[in-house]
Amino acid sequence: MATAVTAVPDKQVDLTEELGRELDRIRSEVVAARGADDARYIRTVITVQRGLETGGRLALAVSVLPPAWLAGTAMLTTAKILENMELGHNILHGQWDWMGDPAIHSTTWEWDFLSPADAWKRTHNHLHHTYTNVVGRDRDLGYTILRMSPEQPWYPVHLLQPLYNALLAPVFEWGIAAYDLEADTVAAGRKSVRSFLGDLAGLARKTVRQLAKDYVLFPLLAGPSAVPCLLGNLTANALRNVWAHTIIFCGHFPGDVQTFSEEQIDGETRGQWYLRQIQGSANIEGSPLFHVLTGNLSHQIEHHVFPDLPSNRYAEVAPQVRELCARHGLPYVTGPLHQQYASMWGRVLRHALP
């Protein structure tokens, strides 16, 4: 199913490099254009997010009243989604480093998610974005527990993967935190035990802070509303987890998205890397509000081609990338959420079997 990128005719190579040059040009145009409006955008999202979080926490403090519980949980869920997707994920990518604002910078940001920012930046920004969908290199391809491509070896445990994929969704942040520890690479000897233990200690410290806030301190402050407050926080975290799981899985695992072998990326050029990013990602169509709530990961193709461009620019870049794909006869996998979601599940089910 993968396009052969080794031993291709010269003409094909020329076209791929031409594609790379055109994408480089689009990137330069955005870099030259970003400015005060973009800075205002990210600061507005931060203000809205912190406002929603404050409102949600206040409403949950009196959540013995059912309407307050509903409003508080809704606000807190939205705040957590915005914080993880449009803020955390994108700021940690360095999308806003160009502003030179130490408060909105990949080196200083810490997010409201279990996995510490440093661990995430290594496994996600470096490994996943460099080796996207390369079997054996991109650990995000099934997150080491799911079999998402026929090239991955089948084991009987994969028969259960539809079940554990469903169970993973509401506790997604715990799955990612465990995954970012890279226990499998320690077993394979590619990561030292010492650095594993360091990561484990970092995760433990962050886990204590995260759990204390949502499940001890805020419920205690809520007094008579302690139990509904705790349940509201639990619901917000679970809904955010389900949402993040859905968006991320729809970005790489719908049926038409390709996977690659390690031999194929041997000596890969910049043009070929771009080509692989396009073929290994899938977009989700929706309204502007939907795009913001996905952290603009609904523009997964554009994000993978330009991972460090400001997320608010993906929407304007998307038609150009799509037109480029059409011109080069490349697939541009896109569709509404329900379609991508069903397609992703089809893939989980299909590869559960040998």
Partner 1 sequence: MSWAGRTGVRITGWTGERLLAAASRLTAPLTSPSTPDDYLGLLDPLLSARHPAGRVTAVRAEGPAAATLEIRPGRGWARHRAGQYLPVGVEIDGVRHWRTYSITSPPDAAGAPITITVKADPRGRVSPHLVHRTAPGTVLRLGPPQGEFTLPEPPPTRLLFVTAGSGITPVMGILRTLARRSPPAPDVVLLHSAPDPHQCLFHAELADLAARLPGLRLQLTYTRTDGRLTPDRIAGLCPDWRQRDAWVCGPAGLLTAVEGYWTAAGLRHRLRMERFRLTPVRPAGAEDTGGRVRFARTGTETDVPASATLLGSGETAGVVMPYGCRMGICHGCLVPLLDGQVRDLRTGEVHGEPGELIQTCVNGATGPLVLDL
Rule CB under 8 A: which residues touch partner 1?
24, 27-28, 31, 34-40, 46-47, 50, 54, 57, 93-94, 97-103, 105-107, 110-112, 121-122, 125-126, 129-130, 206, 209-210, 212-213, 217-218, 221, 270, 273, 307-308
Nearer to partner 1, 34 or 158 (CB): 34
Nearer to partner 1, 50 or 191 (CB): 50
The string of DSSP codes covering 210-252 is: HHHIIIIIHHHHTGGGHHHHHHHHHHHHHHHHHHHHHHHHHHH
Least distance between partner 1 and beta carbon 176 (Å) = 15
Task: Write out the two tokens for 291.
Answer: 């795009």
Least distance between partner 1 and beta carbon 47 (Å) = 6
Nearer to partner 1, 126 or 350 (CB): 126
Q: Report the greatest alpha carbon distance in the chain.
A: 73
Residues 6+ apart with CB under 8 A from 143: 175, 176, 179
Q: Which among 148, 115, 114, 167 is positioned nearest to 251, based on CA atoms?
A: 148
Task: Write out the two tokens for 90.
Answer: 């994108």
Least distance between partner 1 and beta carbon 312 (Å) = 12
Q: What is the DSSP letter of 284?
A: E
Nearer to partner 1, 126 or 338 (CB): 126
Nearer to partner 1, 128 or 147 (CB): 128
Least distance between partner 1 and beta carbon 42 (Å) = 9
Report d(CA 344, CA 206) in Å as an integer: 32
Residues 6+ apart with CB under 8 A from 97: 105, 106, 107, 308
Least distance between partner 1 and beta carbon 69 (Å) = 19
